[in-house]
């Protein structure tokens, strides 16, 4: 047993699973084993866990619902952290909601809607955690996290707990400071507004119906694979290039939404990576546009 895993078990930082298949934790259902997957249940456990990994110089990454991540077939060397149920909290106070980093973003939007609070409607179709949404400045339907974000408690890579206000996050299109300065969102506060319950419900229903009609949700996938280039849409470019339905092994460019790659049952990370590279090269040659992946590629190559 690795020394650092022994230390984690000794200090009771949460559940520690060794050689855990990452395919169980990604929406693509793809990924080899992680050396260890750790599930802390409290901020104090998370801080202790990070301190040990920092001291032992063990590389780590966080997985939320695994909806924006492609894990290599060889798996992940080091530690993978997944926030436990203790981070799935949501407490509403007036027009503000304090949510744990592991809370479902979709569930949070539904709870807000039931309280006639507006601002989170766009989240009704984003299948990730609150922490992941903050990390990516997730958005849809003309809105994003930056528009409702008030503050967050973040555990830095040293184990220090800090509070970041909106100006500290340096939000941009699908970006935040956390992509440059490593840290984990333990909890966040969103600022919403009172709204018309019927209007909120109508908007969320429309978003849900549109998502169901235009996205291949019946198959394992990871949402949009590429970011939209300025003034255009990745899906339009990919479809215009005739790449819908292109297959490599068990991976396929969705025939329903060209910016989705689906797992038809036995896809490997290698299959998906080959498709991503083919798409990038084709669009570059035909349009002179360099598509940028929105999904994170992680693990041993």
User: Which DSSP string do the residues of 251-265 spell out, in sequence order?
Assistant: EEE-SS-TT-EEE-S
The single residue of 72, 124, 203, 224 carrying the catalytic annotation is: 224
Calculate the alpha carbon distances from 276 to 26, 134, 217, 261 in Å: 18, 25, 19, 9
* 224 is a catalytic site residue: yes
Q: Rounded distance, CA 129 to CA 132, Å?
A: 5
Q: Rounded distance, CA 93 to CA 112, Å?
A: 11
* 294 is a catalytic site residue: yes
The single residue of 67, 174, 176, 203 carrying the catalytic annotation is: 174
* 174 is a catalytic site residue: yes
Question: Closest Cα partner for 275 from 202, 240, 225, 231?
Answer: 225
- Token couple for 142: 């003309």
- Token couple for 162: 């800090």
Q: Rounded distance, CA 297 to CA 57, Å?
A: 21
Alpha-helical regions (H) of 100-167: 105-114, 130-136
Active site residues: 174, 224, 294
């Amino acid at each position: 047993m690795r020394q650092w895993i022994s230390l984690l078990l000794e200090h009771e930082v949460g559940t520690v699973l060794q050689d855990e298949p990452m395919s169980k934790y990604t929406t693509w259902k793809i990924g080899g084993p992680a050396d260890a997957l750790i599930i802390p249940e409290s901020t104090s456990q998370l801080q202790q866990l990070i301190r040990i990994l920092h001291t032992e110089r063990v590389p780590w990454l966080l997985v939320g619902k695994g909806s924006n991540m492609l894990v290599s077939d060889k798996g992940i060397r080091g530690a993978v952290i997944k926030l436990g149920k203790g981070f799935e909290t949501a407490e509403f106070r007036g027009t503000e909601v304090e949510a744990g980093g592991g809370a479902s973003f979709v569930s949070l939007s539904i709870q807000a809607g039931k309280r006639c609070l507006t601002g989170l409607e766009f989240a009704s179709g984003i299948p990730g955690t609150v922490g992941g949404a903050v990390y990516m400045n997730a958005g849809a339907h003309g809105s994003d996290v930056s528009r409702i974000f008030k503050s967050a408690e973040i555990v830095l890579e040293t184990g220090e707990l800090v509070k970041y206000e909106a100006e500290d996050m340096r939000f941009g299109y699908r970006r935040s400071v956390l992509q440059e300065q490593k840290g984990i969102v333990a909890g966040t506060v969103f600022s919403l507004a009172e709204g018309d319950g019927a209007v909120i419900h109508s908007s969320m229903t429309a978003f849900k119906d549109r998502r169901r009609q235009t996205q291949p949700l019946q198959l394992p996938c990871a949402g949009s694979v590429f970011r939209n280039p300025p003034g255009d849409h990745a899906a339009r470019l990919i479809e215009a290039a005739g790449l819908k339905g292109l297959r490599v092994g068990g991976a396929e460019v969705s025939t329903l939404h060209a910016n989705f790659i689906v797992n038809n049952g036995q896809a490997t990370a290698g299959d998906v990576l080959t498709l991503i590279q083919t798409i990038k090269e084709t669009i570059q040659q035909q349009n002179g546009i360099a598509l940028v992946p929105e999904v994170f590629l992680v693990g041993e190559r």
